[in-house]
Chains A and B, each alone.
Chain A
């Protein structure tokens, strides 16, 4: 097993999904909004980035738009797409809460996924796009590109973490926690709870969308099967694992999940069947972890204790 490579992969994937976990933690852990369609923002960012930066279609392609713009335009476009998508999904669901919000966000994500899957003109449908360019690929000569990219992803994660920590500690963050715990009290002191819900969607979604652009850089692929509800569920598992309501816990959770996944993937299998069994056992194990952690909540009770004393 190549340990250096494993560490690089874990840092990269963990950082990218870590941002999505932080977004979910802000929405669910702090504001109490159950978002079961978090992958939609991730995918919206990823695909917008691809549309903006890919080269115009060749004769073999079925997609229509390829603007060939610089990487940074694509990155900003991804953030903007996240914002627009949050507006589209957030505005009608403002009034909904609990399981109804969960179902509507889930529905929006599935509709979007179906669109990516079926619309050939958007990004080649099921066939997807492969071999996408990675930013600064030719300029980075002084260090291994993968190491450089892992560092960039980690930097992105740290920036998002600091921003979110700042928000959580501000009066605004406390208002969000009131939205979760005691909405009536929030309304009584003259805050509009609906507006808070929309704002949370609006300021968190662009980060998930930018993480989507990072994911495209990492995989160099834009395939519908990379953006299924499984992403949503993995991020949820990580959040529950680490303890919702704590940004640090969310990061611990996602890195545990990613380490676990990459370790399973790093096992050298001799047969296809063995690899397939391992992949499915991994799914089953993640489910079991979710059940066990929801029942006993070891980390979240720790986080709660820390909050009470600190």
Chain B
């Protein structure tokens, strides 16, 4: 498991750092900044989908699920298998894969996390590292070394003025909006959603007031699995896949969750775009390899200045 894989977002060709970086004319610089902002919005949309499920588990089940990114990886490779190996239509493959991922999330929760819930969030966190190892090793052993991609139509980027926009990123932005609004509606308007919220505030009280804790927990894991599944599919659509990809993703997901404030869901919407934008804009001054450093510099800053995060609940971090 290596942490030096951060290639989830393909960097635009022709935007490389040149030795003549200082020689770019003022208009060229504005175009470049605009272009990076457009990229940042795309990265933010992906991070939003990827982090929502992670934040939901933190909120409801009370721990950081490090294995979340490996679920994304599983979803990406199941989609790849159906799509490329079996030749299914991409959308069908993605749907089946998302459903399977949701089930995997539920099964893992029942088998691994539920029995040790009484040991506290720290043990659950370490356990989820074990789950991440298990899922990573299994995926890598089955899939093998290499670079994989889906069979989807290649859509050319269209240009607005001098700024290029990739169509799939717009689709992704729409999907992210659907996810965020859908999750909000689910939690606020449906009976299951309301019981999930009740459970996240006070599990015992909710149980004593007749909320079906088991059903609410099951729904939480299924929703998380669906979001992770969607995130995995998005990974494969945006770029190429390797089995090491997920580990780099969990670092950035953690960063978004902390900037948002652990336990906050609405904060994630803002934080995803802040982190995505910061990582892409950092390329103006730093080589692309430093993207995660930017994310973590934000994390360290937030933890030191405002540990409860942007929109965080008043939970004590210190």
Contact = CB atoms under 8 A, between A and B. Distances in A.
A152 interface: no
Contact of B116 (A237, A276, A294): A294
B141 A277 contact: yes
A281 to B, nearest CB: 5
Contact of B254 (A34, A95, A103, A286): A103
A100 interface: yes
Interface of A: 34, 92-93, 95-100, 102-104, 106-108, 110-111, 113-115, 117-118, 126, 224-225, 228-230, 233, 236-237, 240, 273, 276-277, 280-291, 294-295
Contacts of A277: 141, 144
A259 to B, nearest CB: 18
26 contacts: A97-B317, A99-B121, A103-B254, A103-B258, A107-B303, A110-B292, A111-B292, A111-B297, A114-B292, A118-B289, A225-B4, A229-B1, A229-B3, A229-B247, A230-B1, A236-B126, A273-B144, A276-B144, A277-B144, A283-B1, A284-B134, A284-B138, A290-B130, A291-B112, A294-B119, A295-B116
Contacts of A287: 129-137
B304 interface: yes
B64 interface: yes
B206 interface: no
Which of B121, B127, B287 has the most CB atoms of chain A within a 10 A radius of its CB? Answer: B127
Nearest to B289: A118
Contacts of A97: 317-318
A225 B5 CA distance: 11
A272 to B, nearest CB: 9
A100 B116 contact: no
Contacts of A106: 254
Contacts of B131: 287, 291
B37 interface: no
B270 interface: no
A283 B137 contact: yes
Contacts of B141: 276-277, 280-281, 284
Contacts of B3: 110, 113, 228-229
Interface in B249-264: 251, 254-255, 258, 262
A105 to B, nearest CB: 10
Given A96-B317, A99-B64, A34 B122 contact: yes
Nearest to A237: B130
B251 A110 contact: yes
A290 B127 contact: yes
Contacts of A288: 130, 133-134
A103 B262 CA distance: 11
Contact of B125 (A92, A102, A224): A102
Contacts of B63: 99
B116 A282 contact: no
The 8 residue pairs across chains A and B that have the minimum distance between CB atoms: A287-B133, A284-B137, A290-B130, A283-B137, A287-B134, A280-B141, A95-B318, A118-B289
A24 to B, nearest CB: 12
B251 to A, nearest CB: 6
B99 to A, nearest CB: 24
B158 interface: no
B170 interface: no
B297 A284 contact: no
Contact of A100 (B126, B129, B133, B317): B317
A115 B133 CA distance: 25
Contacts of B23: none
Nearest to B137: A284
Given A107-B299, A291-B130, A294-B127, 15 more contacts: A95-B318, A96-B318, A99-B262, A100-B318, A106-B254, A114-B289, A118-B287, A228-B2, A230-B2, A240-B126, A286-B137, A287-B131, A287-B132, A288-B134, A295-B115
Contacts of B287: 118
A114 B293 contact: yes
B225 interface: no
Contacts of A100: 262, 303, 307, 317-318
A282 B132 CA distance: 13
A286 B137 CA distance: 9
Contact of A98 (B121, B144, B254, B299): B121
Contact of B133 (A110, A225, A284): A284
